[in-house]
């Protein structure tokens, strides 16, 4: 249903956000069930939706933190399935997305925790 609503109103970011949350939840369930390939496919879909929303509203800290969280989930699932450059790229993207909000002292507690995690696990910082 959320996919249909998103297609009917592509400019409605609320539908897109709801759809990405659904993909995240399904990815978590698939991961817990040992269906890691499916989990990765689902979380990849959530990441793409979050990126699209962030491109539309790059000034919103809540949108940036939601993207960072989804990237964190992707990195966690990627680390389970097969460590590769995707997990590292996700950590780098988290840093890139959240730094402007940290610099402006607008970062939420959740955003700060994600940024700390990304920095601690990023081989470049």
pLDDT digits (tens, 9 = 90+) for 55-70: 999 999 999 999 999 9
- Count of domains forming the chain: 1
Q: What are the tens digits of pLDDT across the range 15-33?
A: 888 889 999 999 999 999 9
Q: Which domain holds residue 47?
A: 2-121
pTM: 0.86
Q: Position of tokens 């990304």?
A: 118
Q: Does residue 105 come out as left (phi exceeding 0), alpha (psi in the -120 to 50 range) or beta?
A: left
Q: 85-103 and 109-121 helices cross at what angle (nearest 10)?
A: 140
Chain-wide mean pLDDT for the chain? Answer: 88
SS3 content of the chain, % helix, strand, coil (to 5): 80, 0, 20
């Amino acid at each position: 249903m959320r996919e249909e609503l998103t297609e009917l109103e592509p400019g409605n970011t609320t539908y897109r956000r709801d759809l990405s949350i659904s993909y995240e939840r399904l990815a978590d369930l698939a991961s817990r069930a040992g269906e890691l390939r499916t989990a990765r496919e689902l979380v990849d879909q959530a990441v793409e939706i979050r990126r699209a929303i962030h491109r539309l509203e790059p000034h919103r800290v809540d949108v940036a933190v939601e993207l960072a969280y989804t990237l964190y989930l992707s990195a966690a699932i990627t680390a389970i399935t097969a460590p590769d450059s995707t997990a590292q790229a996700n950590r780098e993207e988290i840093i890139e997305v959240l730094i402007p909000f940290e610099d402006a002292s607008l970062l939420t507690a959740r955003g700060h925790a994600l940024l700390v995690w990304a920095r601690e696990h990023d081989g470049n910082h």
